[in-house]
A = this chain, B = another copy of it.
Amino acid sequence: MKNTVDALREQVCALHAELVRYGLVVWTAGNVSARVPGHDLFVIKPSGVSYDDLTPASIVVCDLDGELVEGDWAGGDLRPSSDTAAHAHVYRHMAHVGGVVHTHSTYASAWAAHGRAVPCALTAMADEFGGEIPLGPFARIGDDSIGRAVVETLSGHRSPAVIMRNHGVFSIGRDALAAVKAAVMCEDVARTTHHAVALGALSPLPQDDVDALFDRYQNAYGQQGATA
């Protein structure tokens, strides 16, 4: 298991750099986690650590209650991200989810502060989200309220991302890379749609076109066997 955890730490550390590269995070905000396949564990960013200082060894290991796992191989005296309870709740209730990402990315959070789901008027959004990106309720941090709201909003929804009212984005994926891709694409389409709304009304994208695009993209895009 140690080898699996070490590999996930490497990957999750590297994926945090993608959040920086795509401008989704400032200072220490934002976090990526990955489930340890076959174990009731996941790895996640430590709380309040600068992206510059993040190393694979600083990524912490938690159980599915969000409690820090102790021990030599789990290492570390760092506290897990303050969003750990939300990640843990998702892993406990969505068995197909292998990665979770949380950001306050600018345009997605603007929709959240305004309190509206991002409407679907772009083929790229139909491809990736299968329609609108839903708006989840406001939930206060500190217990599993946020995690519950994420699970309730995304269960049975095509979208791998939810915009939490007055807060920011949670995205999920079969692994951490897919969840990061969803976070990146969420900000991209939230931004483009924001600028479109500024020009006036959106041009509607008929539901049957949305459905056809989503179906094709999920089944035919990319190289066979590719993760994202």
Contact = CB atoms under 8 A, between A and B. Distances in A.
Interface of A: 22, 26-29, 46-49, 78-79, 82, 104, 106-107, 109-116, 121-124, 138, 140-142, 165-168, 181, 184-185, 188, 191-203, 205, 209, 212-213, 216, 220-224, 226, 228
Given A110-B196, A113-B196, A140-B212, 11 more contacts: A29-B124, A79-B223, A104-B124, A106-B188, A110-B192, A113-B121, A113-B203, A114-B197, A123-B167, A138-B205, A165-B203
A151 to B, nearest CB: 19
Contact of A199 (B78, B116, B222, B224): B116
Contacts of A196: 109-114
A223 B28 CA distance: 12
Copies of this protein, total? 4
Contacts of A205: 138, 166
Nearest to A135: B203
A111 B138 CA distance: 26
Contacts of A200: 114, 116
B194 A198 contact: yes
A48 B28 CA distance: 30
